[in-house]
Amino acid sequence: MNWLDHLPALMLAVPLFGAFIAPLTAWGGKGLRNAWFLLVSVVFSVLAILLWSRVGAAGPLIYVMGGQGWNIALPSGISIPVRILMEIDAFSAFMVLLGAVASLAGAVFSVAYMDRFSGMEKFVALYFLMVTGMFGMEVTGDFFNFFVFLEISSVASFGLVAFWRDRGEALEAAFKYMLVSSLGAMMVLLAVAFLYSRYNVVNMATLGKVIEWGMVEKTALVLFLTALAMKCGSVPMHMWMPDAYAEAPAGVTCALIAVSQASLYGLFRVCFTIYGAFMGSPVIPWVIIILGILSMFIGVSMAVIQKEVGRLIAYHSVSQVGYMLLGFGVGLLALGDARAMADYGFTALKGGVFHIVNYTMYKGLLFLAAGALFYATGSRNLNEMGGLARRMPKTMVLFMIAAAAIAGLPPFNGFVSKLLIYESSFAVHPILAVFAMVTSVLTLASFVKIFQTAFLGPELKKFAGVKEVPGAMLVGMTVLAVAIIGLSLFPTWSLNNLVEPAAKALMDQTSYIGAVFAAAATGGGL
């Protein structure tokens, strides 16, 4: 038995262990706590890379918690998976990898950014709990565990959003986020209960195998869709997103983006893997497409008028989530129709998957850069800033990379994924592509605005003492900048190795389901 076989369990155990040891590191002083923060983050990032390459080489991984296989002999001869199963296919592994990179960057950044504040051991503990919840949502093969991990990541992130509890705004944002999340989690639990009432299973693969199209299933699907769209920040329940993202400490926001992507992952797991074959009616795909279009357009138009850097960037998150919903919605529309799938559906899925990685990287970098501006100047208001290019040249370059990527300027990765989404949505209806392009133009406009007001212009007297931010913050930002540049310089490599396996895994319902049952046939899941 190779220790690599236990990768899925380690993926959860390492950050969880990190979280519970973190309060103890307070006795060793600041140095020990920072070392622990960085060590655990690096370890789970390495594990994520190993997991991703293993899934890429060997196909979906099945892991049974505490047992050899999921078949246990009961007198009644039960033949459905009753143990705690984890299943990682290419899409899950891809999401885990992204989440790990974003959390690592956020952790490195936070070491310097949060240095002035007390209570950091609690911050570290909550941070790791949030990361555990995110990984759990992505690797689990079981709906009830999905709910539990959803709650773990949400409750930890409420605490982190309200970390600066001396600010009333932070508490207000955390409370709003909490209401939306708790309601969402209860709806997920109700949906799980509906499916359980019908099939007596909560295992995803088994559900995908036995599900039929009926009233109970429709109710469950609507509950899942509402709850998870709410959690990932789509219009019309987007208002928690700018508040929470702008009020949370910057390093947390970077990881929080990856956490909300985990909800998006859940949404597509439900739509593609569980319901997949029954999505024959175009109603649900069109609902997702329309939610996407509305999120894109409303998000970006709210962003253009913001004065606070954090809120402006956070409204862009709403609009970027819209792009992904549009891409996946078009892919879902083509599901079950082989010709449409080959024509535009697969392109749309690739665009959506590629946009998830791009979005996580450049949005994380933008929030970190906004955090760096706040750290250096003590201001969040764009109207008070100016002429910072001379004072903070490195931050400016990093911000420029991220802004060019999000606006979709040609050599950058944002351009590739947006082009894939334009192409495929144009095939469905030209008006979709028009909305997507207008959004892209407005995105560029608002980032030109931040860049011009914060960095350009004459030097202001009150910022004469402003210095470049500490090295650890620059390193955190560089991690993400390197990822962006890598994705931009090697689009073919990243499309072939990173994006396509994930998109294929989503499209191919039977491989996800088959993997669980094949593992049972050979008598072992490990």
Partner 1 sequence: MIGNFPYLVVGILFVMGFIGLVFERNLVKIAIAMSVIEAATNLFIITLGYRTGGSIPVWTMAGGGSSRMVLPTPQALTLTAIVIGLATTALMLSFIMMIYRHYGSLDVRDIRRLRG
Residues of the shown chain interacting with partner 1 in the complex, contacts defined by CB under 8 A: 75, 144, 147-148, 151, 155, 158-159, 162, 165, 167-169, 171-176, 178-179, 182-183, 185-186, 189-190, 192-193, 196-197, 200, 202, 242-243, 247, 302, 305-306
Q: Which is nearer to partner 1, 155 or 460 (CB)?
A: 155
**Least separation in angstroms between CB 188 and partner 1:** 10
DSSP string of 58-92, one letter each residue: H--EEEETTSS-S----TT---S--S-EEEE-HHH
**Least separation in angstroms between CB 345 and partner 1:** 36
Q: Which is nearer to partner 1, 176 or 394 (CB)?
A: 176
For the chain, the straight-line distance linking the first and the last C-alpha, in angstroms and rounded, comes to 9
Q: Which of 128, 328, 161, 86 is nearest to 228 (CA)?
A: 328
**Least separation in angstroms between CB 197 and partner 1:** 5
Q: Which is nearer to partner 1, 86 or 202 (CB)?
A: 202
Q: How many helices (H) and strands (E) does the chain have?
A: 21, 2
3-state SS assignment for residue 203: strand
Report whether 268 contacts 506 (CB < 8 A): yes
What tokens appear for 473 in the block? 């913050």
Please state, in angstroms and rounded to a whole number, the distance separating the CA atoms of residues 512 and 517.
9
Q: Half-sphere exposure (CA, 13 Å, Cβ side) for 446? A: 27
**Least separation in angstroms between CB 72 and partner 1:** 13
What tokens appear for 216 in the block? 């109970």
Please state, in angstroms and rounded to a whole number, the distance separating the CA atoms of residues 286 and 288.
5
Please state, in angstroms and rounded to a whole number, the distance separating the CA atoms of residues 516 and 60.
9
**Least separation in angstroms between CB 44 and partner 1:** 24
Q: Which is nearer to partner 1, 245 or 447 (CB)?
A: 245
**Least separation in angstroms between CB 245 and partner 1:** 11
**Least separation in angstroms between CB 181 and partner 1:** 9
What tokens appear for 110 in the block? 């936070």
Q: In whole angstroms, how far apart are CA 441 and each of 187, 255, 367?
A: 36, 27, 20
Q: Which is nearer to partner 1, 93 or 382 (CB)?
A: 382
Beta bridge partners, 87, equal 62
The radius of gyration of the chain's CA atoms, rounded to the nearest angstrom, is 22
Report whether 123 contacts 160 (CB < 8 A): yes
Q: Which is nearer to partner 1, 312 or 477 (CB)?
A: 312
Compute how many other C-beta atoms are within 10 angstroms of the C-beta atom of residue 75: 5
**Least separation in angstroms between CB 165 and partner 1:** 6
**Least separation in angstroms between CB 84 and partner 1:** 12
Q: Which is nearer to partner 1, 94 or 127 (CB)?
A: 127
The residue whose two tokens read 């705690």 is: 84
Q: Which is nearer to partner 1, 370 or 421 (CB)?
A: 370
Q: Which is nearer to partner 1, 193 or 400 (CB)?
A: 193
